[in-house]
């Protein structure tokens, strides 16, 4: 107990050194918690953007189509059958669904062409399952069986089109025959989903089916559930229900979508950068502990001369350093708590700060960006700070305790 009390007295006696090291630890923990909250919020927003504007909670498609879905094939489609829809809609988690026919096309404004993704949909279904009602900056949704279309405002600006203008989609039908679809723009959208803003053109499902010669087929069925967290379980249940009548159809929950996987990979990459930042902070802590040992060589020599064992000197150093880690960790947690609280309630308006609309660069943010709570990060980063402080003290303590007492007393 005497050595422990001596170690804590040294913390008070060397206030400046204690505070400097504690502040380094606190800043590293605070910065980590803020960044972790921001990344968590951005990841959640990315997932919500994919779900609310593009993919829904669950998709049903032919497994052969799904393997080549990025190529937008017109083979292995789903035939619209009442029996199929009844099986899907009878599931207790089913809330809404959207029939979708995806195909590649070239958008021609009479002067220039641009490759885009066209989506044949039912207008009412599109608005009910995706959060688009308040995203129209001009016009509204098309009427069924009309040669009308809706696209992103950014795509329209790029092609110098506006509401009321006509354009042509150049397509290949199911039999590889070239065809054209002349459409009038009746609505322009602007959302936080960059794909929708720049790459997609929506048109009536029956017009798309007729132009592509696919009868009443669709690429996939997008489903909204009562609880998105049941998507994986519901996918398995739907597959079992469909297996007898439709053995090639499978359910694909939002967690398995490529876009979600990419967003998760980005989060892991950013987390790696944050770990590197913590390692830099650890180096600073180690450097501070070494300097502290150098400053106290005379004191160490005197303790050795008074008969203290090397193990006892090492113990004092380790307790001091660990105490600094605990102090810095607690300060960092307090600062981090209030920082994350501000992030979750007030948020940050990146558009206002940077003067740039980040969604133009594929970042799903318009206006405020909010953080998220991750209690696990608070525990882990505090343990990290204390552990680094503990480990950082071992080598300097061994080095200092190994000094000859006489040499230590005359150390400069």
Residues 111 and 83 grouped into a single domain: yes
Instruction: Let me know if residue 62 belongs to a domain.
Output: no
pTM here is 0.71
Instruction: Let me know if residue 113 belongs to a domain.
Output: yes
Region of residue 238 (left: phi > 0; alpha: psi -120 to 50; beta: else): alpha
Instruction: Let me know if residue 105 belongs to a domain.
Output: yes
Residues 40 and 151 grouped into a single domain: no
Residues 243 and 305 grouped into a single domain: no
Residues 92 and 30 grouped into a single domain: no
**Domain closes at, from 194, 215, 247:** 247
Query: 65 vs 24, 137, 196, CA distance in Å?
Result: 54, 34, 22
356 against 233, higher pLDDT: 233
With cut-offs at 50, 70 and 90, classify the pLDDT of residue 106: very high
Instruction: Let me know if residue 377 belongs to a domain.
Output: yes
Q: What is the pLDDT of residue 355?
A: 54
**Domain closes at, from 183, 215, 247:** 247
Residue 353 has pLDDT above 80, yes or no: no
Residue 374 pairs in a beta bridge with: none
Residues 106 and 190 grouped into a single domain: yes
Strand positions, DSSP E, 161-232: 166-172, 178-189, 200-204, 217-218, 220-225
Count CB-CB contacts under 10 A for residue 12. Answer: 8
Specify the pairing of strand 220-225 against strand 178-189: unpaired
Looking at residue 122, the DSSP 8-state letter turns out to be: -
Instruction: Let me know if residue 23 belongs to a domain.
Output: yes
Residues 82 and 137 grouped into a single domain: yes
Residue with tokens 């035939």: 79
Residues 27 and 148 grouped into a single domain: no
Looking at residue 80, the DSSP 8-state letter turns out to be: -
351, two tokens: 């558009």
**Domain containing 302: what range?**
2-50+261-409
Beta-carbon contacts of 75 under 8 Å, excluding residues fewer than 6 positions away, are 64, 65, 174
Instruction: Let me know if residue 56 belongs to a domain.
Output: no
Alpha helices (runs of H) in 99-174, residue ranges in sequence order: 123-129, 153-158
Instruction: Let me know if residue 117 belongs to a domain.
Output: yes
Residue 184 has pLDDT above 90, yes or no: yes
Residues 25 and 117 grouped into a single domain: no
d(CA 370, CA 48): 13
d(CA 359, CA 80): 36
Residues 273 and 221 grouped into a single domain: no
CA angle 34, 373, 388 (to 5 degrees): 55
**Domain closes at, from 247, 275, 299:** 247
401 against 105, higher pLDDT: 105
Residues 132 and 226 grouped into a single domain: yes
53-95 pLDDT, tens per residue?
Answer: 888 899 999 999 999 988 999 999 999 888 999 999 999 999 9
Quick one: average pLDDT of 3-8? 68
d(CA 326, CA 332): 10
Region of residue 385 (left: phi > 0; alpha: psi -120 to 50; beta: else): alpha
Residues 16 and 126 grouped into a single domain: no
Residues 271 and 166 grouped into a single domain: no
Instruction: Let me know if residue 342 belongs to a domain.
Output: yes
d(CA 392, CA 290): 9
Domain total of the chain: 2
253-289 pLDDT, tens per residue?
Answer: 987 765 555 455 555 555 666 667 667 666 766 776 6
């Amino acid at each position: 107990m005497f050595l422990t009390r001596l170690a804590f007295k040294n913390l008070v006696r060397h206030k400046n050194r204690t505070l400097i090291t504690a502040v380094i630890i606190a800043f590293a923990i605070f910065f980590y918690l803020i960044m972790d909250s921001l990344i968590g919020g951005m990841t959640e927003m990315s997932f919500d953007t994919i779900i609310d504007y593009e993919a829904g909670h669950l998709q049903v498609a032919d497994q052969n189509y799904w393997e080549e879905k990025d190529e937008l094939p017109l083979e292995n489609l789903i035939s619209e059958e009442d029996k199929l829809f009844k099986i899907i809609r009878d599931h207790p988690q089913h809330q809404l669904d959207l029939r979708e026919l995806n195909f590649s096309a070239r958008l021609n404004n009479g002067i220039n062409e641009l490759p885009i993704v066209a989506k044949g949909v039912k207008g009412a279904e599109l608005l009910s399952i995706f959060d688009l009602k308040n995203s129209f900056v001009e016009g509204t949704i098309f009427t069924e069986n009309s040669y009308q279309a809706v696209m992103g405002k950014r795509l329209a600006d790029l092609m110098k089109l506006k509401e009321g203008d006509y354009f042509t989609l150049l397509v290949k039908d199911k039999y590889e025959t070239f065809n054209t679809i002349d459409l009038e723009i009746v609505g322009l959208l602007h959302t936080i989903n960059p794909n929708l803003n720049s790459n997609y053109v929506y048109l009536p499902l029956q017009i798309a089916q007729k132009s592509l010669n696919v009868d009443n087929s669709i690429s996939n069925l997008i489903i909204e559930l009562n609880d998105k967290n049941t998507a994986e379980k519901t996918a398995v249940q739907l597959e079992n229900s469909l297996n007898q009548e439709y053995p090639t159809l499978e359910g694909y929950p939002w967690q398995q979508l490529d876009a979600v996987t990419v967003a998760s990979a980005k989060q892991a990459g950013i987390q790696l950068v944050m770990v590197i930042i913590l390692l830099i902070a650890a180096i600073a802590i180690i450097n501070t502990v070494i300097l502290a040992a150098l400053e106290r060589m005379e004191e160490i020599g005197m303790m050795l001369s008074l008969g203290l064992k090397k193990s006892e000197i090492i113990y004092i150093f380790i307790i001091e350093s660990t105490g600094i880690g605990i102090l810095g960790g607690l300060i960092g947690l307090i600062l981090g708590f209030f920082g994350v609280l501000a992030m979750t309630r007030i948020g940050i308006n990146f558009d206002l700060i940077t003067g740039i609309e980040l969604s133009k660069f594929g970042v799903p943010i318009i206006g405020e960006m909010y953080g998220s709570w991750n209690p696990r990060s608070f525990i882990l980063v505090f343990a990290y700070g204390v552990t680094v402080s503990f480990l950082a003290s071992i080598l300097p303590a061994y080095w200092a305790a190994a000094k000859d007492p006489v040499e230590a007393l005359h150390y400069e």
